[in-house]
Amino acid sequence: MYFDSHAHLNLAIFDKELPTIVSKLKEEKIYLVNAGTCYLTSEKAIELAKIEENFWSAVGLHPAHTFKNLVDKEEIDSQDNFSLPESFDDKFIGLLKNDKVVAIGETGLDYSYLKNFSDEEKEKLQEKQREEFQKQIKASQESGLPLIIHSREVYTECLLILEKLSFKGTGVFHFFSGTIKEAKEILKRGFYLGFSGIITYDNERAKNLEEVIKETPLEKILIETDCPYAAPKPYRGQKNYPFYVQEVARKIAQIKNQSLEKIEYQTFNNALNFFKIKM
Ligand SMILES: [Zn+2]
């Protein structure tokens, strides 16, 4: 039994093959949380969790949806209004009361989307990302739901914002790809690290992440696919699926010199604890 702590079967790219995927997931006993990226995908994650016993959902606004995003068209979440900026408003808060909503996210900061904007524009859009992140941190505080944090290369800034708001809850830095120093700062504050398929690649970043994994207590590790993105080896470059989460576990087992069964069991229980899921 594996738990994919961060999937996006709520994106339109999976619509056609969803029935096949669902039955295979049942067969392989894979459980998962679909993370919201905007209002529509948050709603869809909830819908899927209502139908599928092994699915849970997170409600959130991804930093890429906080501005008129014309660059990442190929990452289209499904709907035509993808490029319209959204705000984490009452509409989102209203979704939180649904059963099987187990987290707020994904939310955070990602300035890599803003490369093509002027400096002045960039500053405004960064500020908007910060505002939306803060709203979701507050929603996490108020609801008691953990945070799924998306941060690209700005871990320190994310931590500072959490600190400024005296965040007392729990959270995971999903798709962790930072340095060992950043990992230590995150762990010191009690947060979890989410590891994805990128740890299986043959590159410098994966080598650094190997060191991070060695230093991360097993109880603080969540595994994820972030499907459809970033498929692990040997599927790299292809569409990613929750079944491939096993490859992430296999790599962690190898790095930590533990059995695959041990990693499978521990990461499964970590996810249940983190999302407060009772089975
Ligand atoms: Zn994601």
Q: Which CATH number fits the domain that encloses residue 93? A: 3.20.20.140
- Cα of 250 vs centre of ligand 1, distance in Å, is 21
What pLDDT digit, counting tens, does each position of 143-185 carry? 999 999 999 999 999 999 999 999 999 999 999 999 999 999 9
Q: How many domains would you assign to the chain?
A: 1
- Cα of 62 vs centre of ligand 1, distance in Å, is 8
- Cα of 217 vs centre of ligand 1, distance in Å, is 23
- Cα of 28 vs centre of ligand 1, distance in Å, is 22
CB 162 within 8 A of CB 138: no
Residue 68: the pLDDT is 83
CB 18 within 8 A of CB 228: no
Closest CA to 265 of 33, 28, 56, 3: 3
- Cα of 37 vs centre of ligand 1, distance in Å, is 7
The CA–CA distances, whole Å, from 214 to 33, 120, 200 equal 25, 41, 14
pLDDT at 126 over 50: yes
How confident is residue 80, by pLDDT bands cut at 50, 70 and 90?
A: very low
Q: Which residues lie near ion ligand 1 (Cβ < 5 Å)?
A: 226
- Cα of 9 vs centre of ligand 1, distance in Å, is 10
Mean pLDDT of 16-43: 96
Stretch among 73-87, 145-159, 171-185, 262-276 having the lowest mean pLDDT: 73-87
- Cα of 258 vs centre of ligand 1, distance in Å, is 28
- Cα of 109 vs centre of ligand 1, distance in Å, is 13
What pLDDT digit, counting tens, does each position of 230-243 carry? 999 999 999 999 99
- Cα of 92 vs centre of ligand 1, distance in Å, is 17
State which amino acid sits at residue 88: F
CB 57 within 8 A of CB 97: no
Calculate the average pLDDT of the chain: 94
- Cα of 229 vs centre of ligand 1, distance in Å, is 8
pLDDT at 41 over 80: yes
Residue 135: the pLDDT is 98
Residue 72: the pLDDT is 52
- Cα of 239 vs centre of ligand 1, distance in Å, is 14
Domain hosting 83: range is 2-275
- Cα of 94 vs centre of ligand 1, distance in Å, is 22
Percent over 90 (pLDDT), the chain: 91
What is the spatial order of strands in the sheet that 192-195 belongs to?
Answer: 2-7, 30-35, 55-59, 101-109, 147-151, 171-173, 192-195, 221-223
- Cα of 175 vs centre of ligand 1, distance in Å, is 8
Residue 258: the pLDDT is 98
How confident is residue 105, by pLDDT bands cut at 50, 70 and 90?
A: very high
CB 11 within 8 A of CB 78: yes
- Cα of 171 vs centre of ligand 1, distance in Å, is 14
Residue 84: the pLDDT is 78
- Cα of 106 vs centre of ligand 1, distance in Å, is 7
Closest CA to 220 of 262, 191, 255, 200: 191
How confident is residue 70, by pLDDT bands cut at 50, 70 and 90?
A: low
Which residue pairs, CB below 8 angstroms and at least 24 apart, start in 65-72?
A: 65/37, 65/38, 66/125, 66/128, 66/129, 66/132, 67/113, 67/114, 67/125, 67/128, 67/129, 69/113, 71/113, 71/115, 71/116, 72/113
- Cα of 225 vs centre of ligand 1, distance in Å, is 9
Number of H helices, E strands in the chain: 9, 8
- Cα of 248 vs centre of ligand 1, distance in Å, is 16
- Cα of 172 vs centre of ligand 1, distance in Å, is 12
